[in-house]
Structure 1
Amino acid sequence: MRLELFGMLSLYEKMEIQLGDLRTLRAGHRGDLQVGVLPFEVKKYSRVSRDTVVLSTQSVRHILAQHGDHIALETLLLLPSVLQQGLWISDRKMAFVVVYQDDVSGVRYKVALKMTADQSRSYVRTMHKMQHRQTRSVLKRGDLVRRHWMR
């Protein structure tokens, strides 16, 4: 956990996941993996009871099967940063799209999240690359919940 004071108080926890955790999750040898937390604005907007975001075995397998040509298992290590720093858009009831551009590679990613019907869990459903024009399209269809956040 990190505490910063620059005229205002900012408190956040930097979540990290390990490649070994993703490998055991993909193999089905562990339960859901927590990959981050919902930002305050998103939790308030969605009225979920818990702010944890998890990745399931099914989602990892889906992402790699459907988008494996451009998303590697290692790419999923970006999920904590995506959730913490990305642009959050509500695209339909209890579903969000998070747009994030990686500083190192310059690649823009889209992560889709879904909340359970009882609003107790938030799951990563998919992750893939996207273009700038696709971001504009998603913004036109949905509600902007939270802007990009930079450290």
Structure 2
Amino acid sequence: MGLELSQLHNLLLTPLAAISIGHLPPAVSAYLKCPLGIAYLSSFSLTHILRKHPDVSMMDMLCLPAMIKSGLWVADKRGCACVFYVHPETAKQYKSAIKAAGGGYETYISTFHRCNDRQRQSIVSRGGILV
């Protein structure tokens, strides 16, 4: 499943909308107790990410499907997991969090930002690696 820049632009223009980003790995889906295992990005979350993290562009966010598929997943608070990803072309490291919603049937990306090795190690040491 791919993600296009036009999808992100349309999401910004459409309040109360969401787009599917990809399928969660089975271990993450089980941890979040979300049998459907589909990760969504809402217009609210996209707006939040772009406002709170000005160093992240929508171009950076195009790596979200690859991040969901092959990132390092770490258990976080109940109903929440973190994923870390190093972009293969730019070597930039990103962190995202995903939360279960809708009675456990939907999962939404709640944040996406740059991170460093120290931040990743801190979170990995607190939670268990899922995938």
TM-score range, shorter chain: over 0.9
Root-mean-square deviation (Å): 1.3
For each residue in 1:31-71, what CA deviation from the matched residue of structure 2 results, as whole angstroms up to 9, or x when unmatched?
21001111012122332121110000000000000002x10
Decide which structure has the larger Cα Rg and report it. Answer: 1
The corresponding residue for 2:92 is 107
Deviation at 1:18, TM superposition (A): 1.0
Question: How has the CA–CA distance of structure 1 residues 30 and 145 changed in structure 2, closer, same or farther, with 3 Å as cutoff?
Answer: same
Question: What SS is found at the alignment partner of 1:144?
Answer: coil
* Bigger helix fraction: 2
The one-letter code of the counterpart of 2:73 is W
Structure-to-structure mapping, 1:7-18, within 5 angstroms: 15-18=1-4
CA distance in 2, matches of 1:29, 1:58: 7
CA distance in 2, matches of 1:20, 1:30: 17
The one-letter code of the counterpart of 1:121 is E
User: Is this contact kept in 2: 1:100–1:108, CA < 8 A?
Assistant: yes
The one-letter code of the counterpart of 2:3 is I
User: Is this contact kept in 2: 1:24–1:30, CA < 8 A?
Assistant: no
Which of the numbers 47, 52, 63 marks the counterpart of 1:66? 52
Question: How has the CA–CA distance of structure 1 residues 78 and 120 changed in structure 2, closer, same or farther, with 3 Å as cutoff?
Answer: same
For each residue in 1:80-125, what CA deviation from the matched residue of structure 2 results, as whole angstroms up to 9, or x when unmatched?
0000110001111010100000010001000011111610100000
Which of the numbers 1, 6, 20 marks the counterpart of 1:34? 20
Please list every run of at least 4 consecutive aligned residues from structure 1 whose deviation after the TM superposition is greater than 2 angstroms: 44-47
- Gaps in structure 2 of 5+ consecutive residues: none
The corresponding residue for 2:67 is 82
Question: How has the CA–CA distance of structure 1 residues 20 and 117 changed in structure 2, closer, same or farther, with 3 Å as cutoff?
Answer: closer
CA distance in 1, matches of 2:120, 2:57: 22
Higher relative contact order structure (alpha carbons within 8 Å, sequence separation ≥ 6): 2
User: Is this contact kept in 2: 1:88–1:97, CA < 8 A?
Assistant: yes
- Gaps in structure 1 of 5+ consecutive residues: 1-14, 147-151
User: Is this contact kept in 1: 2:67–2:83, CA < 8 A?
Assistant: yes
